[in-house]
Structure 1
């Protein structure tokens, strides 16, 4: 399990409510790409490729009216696998475009893979609707299908709508789930200290990820997220 920049880095652990590690580490860059880089992979070149690919992907979709293109970008990880973008994006800082896009993609994957659990955690973290529900665009008592639709909506909004608003929605969403995890951790404190500590640890990391999303929104509005 690895956490970078204080937030959950999903190439290693993912947004896993239990704190358990993901089963695999990112794959390597395509051999053809590696072969074209004299002397191996230059970290600076990888960083440049990371920023360039993120900017190109976002720009292409934002200037397209092709619904099929939007769908392909939305399901990029589903179709191609996480390894394809992990090597370039997963190590990018949270205050960069590739870093924040990576977190958005991993948030969607986590939400869709754990929709039942997350729906329950949401109801625990947000028993009465607050501004967080309005910002995230989630009903007071969402079910699994609501969570899946919200996952798609947040990522789609990042590419086709106001990027900063999408980040704020993501931030509000993970904050509420983090509150649910905190409540779960406190519930287990006297019965299973190890489990409680793991839940509280993951809750703290999700809170940091929520901060990363909101900070990214601020940077985007100032034209400083690149």
Structure 2
């Protein structure tokens, strides 16, 4: 999987440079949760949707800056941790849309669950349609039912993980290195699915922070 899936683009300068570079872990955690809450609250208060579209466009074009980098250190099943994983999904499909679409389609065919229907992509889905699906999920985070958006993202990850696992099995006899890479990708996506699903449950209980 491309490196972008782990660590999206970081902008070189920011007002948060000193926080990222010098603050202790407790302060970084406080700032991560505060920025995630503020971003979500501001976007959800904007009925016009302008802020949401700007967030999506910025992340698509530039990756994630130092504010979101703070989120990468937050617990997986927290608000900043969930937002971080959602943006990683967007970054991954922008980095390699053809591979992402291929893995999703393979997973859709092989995974005999409702996950593909929950995620909501066309069948089969083109790379552009999958990119739009991820954007639609992010719009749901900022404008719709947050827990539903997290459930859709978790389902999307499960379909992708299934596809990566099956393609890895196909590659194992002739391309063992590629098979190992895809297996790691499948494990990472399956972990994201569990984290996002748990975050959705926490949001419904009112204790996702």
TM-score interval (norm. to shorter): 0.7 to 0.9
With over 3 angstroms needed to count, the CA separation of the structure-2 counterparts of 1:40 and 1:207, relative to structure 1, is: closer
- Correspondence for 2:190 among 194, 207, 212: 207
After TM superposition, list the pairs within 5 Å mapping 1:96-175 onto structure 2: 96-127=78-109, 130-175=113-158
In the alignment, structure 1 residue 44 sits paired with structure 2 residue 26? yes
Is residue 29–residue 87 contact of structure 1 (8 Å, CA) maintained in 2?
A: no
With over 3 angstroms needed to count, the CA separation of the structure-2 counterparts of 1:101 and 1:169, relative to structure 1, is: same
Is residue 184–residue 196 contact of structure 1 (8 Å, CA) maintained in 2?
A: yes
- Correspondence for 2:171 among 163, 173, 188: 188
With over 3 angstroms needed to count, the CA separation of the structure-2 counterparts of 1:135 and 1:93, relative to structure 1, is: same
With over 3 angstroms needed to count, the CA separation of the structure-2 counterparts of 1:29 and 1:219, relative to structure 1, is: farther
Q: CA deviation at 1:131?
A: 1.4
Q: CA deviation at 1:169?
A: 0.5
CA deviation string 1:100-119 (max 9, x = no partner) = 10111111121233222211
RMSD of aligned alpha carbons: 2.6
Alpha-carbon distance in 1 for matches of 2:99, 2:91: 14
**Which SS does the other structure have where 1:190 is aligned?**
coil
After TM superposition, list the pairs within 5 Å mapping 1:75-94 onto structure 2: 75-78=57-60, 81-94=63-76
Structure 2 partner of 1:30:
14
In the alignment, structure 1 residue 218 sits paired with structure 2 residue 166? no
After TM superposition, list the pairs within 5 Å mapping 1:54-93 onto structure 2: 54-78=36-60, 81-93=63-75
Alpha-carbon distance in 2 for matches of 1:161, 1:23: 25
- TM-score between the two structures when normalised by the length of structure 2: 0.88
Q: CA deviation at 1:83?
A: 2.9
- TM-score between the two structures when normalised by the length of structure 1: 0.81
Alpha-carbon distance in 2 for matches of 1:173, 1:138: 9
Structure 1 unaligned residues grouped into runs of 5+:
2-9, 16-20
Give the aligned length: 207
